Amino acid sequence: MGVLKQLERSSSGRFDPSYEDLMKGLLGFNNATASPFAIIPYPYFAYRSDTRPETLAFCLFQSNVGRVDGNTRIKYMNMFDA
């Protein structure tokens, strides 16, 4: 995730300037082929902060017991739902 310089809001995301040439090539290809581009760092950060197998399963849409939100009591089965 070192390519990302700022993550606070998607609309203000920035790439690290040291990856400028790489990103220009990648984004140029995506533009030429009308392909979308997105970096979704949240599963990475969730797993990095909690490396238990259950967390990895939750992040990768694998079978798991889910997670319950302490405020709403809603049970989420994967990172996308949450």
Asked whether the predicted pLDDT for residue 1 surpasses 70, the reply is: no
Cα 80–20–26 angle (5° rounding)?
A: 55
Per-residue pLDDT of 8-31, as tens digits, reads: 666 667 888 999 999 999 999 999
Q: Domain locations in the chain?
A: 1-39, 40-82
pTM score, whole prediction:
0.56
